[in-house]
Amino acid sequence: MGYPVILHLRGRRAVVVGGGKVAARKIHGLLEAGAEIVMIAPEAEPELQALAAGGMIVWKKKRFDPDDLAEAFLVIAATNDRKVNEAVTQAAAPGQLVNVVDDPERCDFHVPAVVRRGPLTIAVSTGGASPAVARRIRRELEEKYGEEYRLYLEFLQRARGIVLREVEDAEGRKRLFQALAADSFRQRGRWDEELAQLLANEKERNGERGKEQ
Ligand SMILES: C[C@@]1(CC(=O)O)c2cc3[nH]c(cc4nc(cc5[nH]c(cc(n2)[C@H]1CCC(=O)O)[C@@](C)(CC(=O)O)[C@@H]5CCC(=O)O)C(CC(=O)O)=C4CCC(=O)O)c(CCC(=O)O)c3CC(=O)O
Ligand SMILES: NC(=O)C1=CN([C@@H]2O[C@H](COP(=O)(O)OP(=O)(O)OC[C@H]3O[C@@H](n4cnc5c(N)ncnc54)[C@H](O)[C@@H]3O)[C@@H](O)[C@H]2O)C=CC1
């Protein structure tokens, strides 16, 4: 069983070998994560050509050779030629994280199906048993956790900073974070107003405790 993580790729180099439909899907995910993407392929899908023309990715218009992996943190072998994909895995140095789109066994990691809502990431993996099921479950989760979660999570991110700054007592923080995480809180939609009230309640509680001592 794999170990699920969220990789921070900002400023790190990701080399994608291949420029077809599967490479395009992987490249979109890598772009969202802020990776520096180098694509190696003699031909590429129009949308990838457009990304290269716009400076969003670097396209080396050529066939793969092992030198292409220099300085890569992460590597995706996404050509339609099994032999080339295998050559990519052979060329990778120990420590480079490699994904091979036609060989789940040789992968250091699989790419999950993902729902993104601002800071919220929901990832679904079947470990290669059925990418189609991962995709279906991703679609179901997109319905359940709609766009409204983006604003809510952005609010929570801000609120977290405020609570950590203003509430010193660990129990009090926990109480507040749990109140903000409740679905009833989210649904009422008066987030800033209720946060201010909750903070005031905490201050009052502390004040009273101060008086008791
Ligand atoms: C092991 C893995 C390696 C990796 O790529 O990381 C892998 C491998 C393979 N996929 C194949 C086929 C398909 N893959 C998809 C779709 C996705 N595949 C993704 C991930 C993964 N695919 C990793 C495991 C993830 C897991 O199981 O959880 C997703 C989740 C993420 C992404 O790619 O971004 C993305 C959905 C994203 C979304 O919609 O949200 C569809 C559906 C479609 O396109 O409609 C089909 C056709 C239907 C089918 O086959 O099920 C084949 C056979 C190729 C052939 O027939 O030759 C192989 C190779 C093999 O199985 O040997
Ligand atoms: N993991 C996944 O999610 C999935 C994997 N697959 C597998 O992925 C493979 C690729 O699928 P598509 O993107 O649809 O293929 P595609 O035919 O659209 O693209 C193949 C790409 O590989 C490039 N390429 C070929 N030889 C190369 C070389 N020597 N060096 C560099 N680039 C080279 C081509 O120029 C082209 O850009 C399929 O053969 C299939 O086995 C298919 C569906 C999903």
Ligand nearest to the CA of 103: 1
ipTM: 0.96
Same domain, 20 and 64: yes
- How far apart (Å, rounded) are the C-alpha atoms in residues 112 and 40? 23
**Residues above pLDDT 90, as percent of the chain:** 94
- What's the CATH code of the domain at 120? 3.30.160
Tell me the best of 30, 64, 100, 101 to mutate to test the pocket of ligand 2, counting ligand atoms within 8 Å of each CB and taking the most.
Answer: 101
Average pLDDT over all residues of the chain: 96
Task: Give residue 118's domain range.
Answer: 112-146
User: Residue 61, SS3?
Assistant: coil
Q: Is residue 177 part of a domain?
A: yes
| 41-66 pLDDT per residue, tens | 999 999 999 999 999 999 999 999 99
Same domain, 15 and 92: yes
Same domain, 128 and 83: no
Task: Give 132 Cα–ligand 1 centroid separation in angstroms.
Answer: 7
| Residue indicated by tokens 């994904």 | 99
**Is the pLDDT confidence value at 208 over 80?**
no
**Is the pLDDT confidence value at 117 over 70?**
yes
Who's near 192: CB < 8 A, 6+ residues apart?
A: 155
- What is the DSSP-derived secondary structure letter of residue 213? -
**Cβ of 102 less than 6 Å from ligand 2:** yes
Same domain, 142 and 152: no
Relative to the CA of 29, which ligand 1 atom is closest? 34
Same domain, 139 and 197: no
Tell me the best of 17, 21, 22 to mutate to test the pocket of ligand 2, counting ligand atoms within 8 Å of each CB and taking the most.
Answer: 22
Relative to the CA of 40, which ligand 2 atom is closest? 31
- The protein residue whose alpha carbon is closest to atom 29 in ligand 1 is 113
**pLDDT confidence of residue 118:** 95
| 166-181 pLDDT per residue, tens | 999 999 999 999 999 9
**Cβ of 80 less than 6 Å from ligand 1:** no
Who's near 126: CB < 8 A, 6+ residues apart?
A: 133, 134
Domain count of the fold of the chain: 3
- The mean pLDDT of 149-175, rounded to a whole number, is 96
Q: Is the pTM of this model over 0.90?
A: yes
**Is the pLDDT confidence value at 89 over 90?**
yes
- How far apart (Å, rounded) are the C-alpha atoms in residues 110 and 140? 21
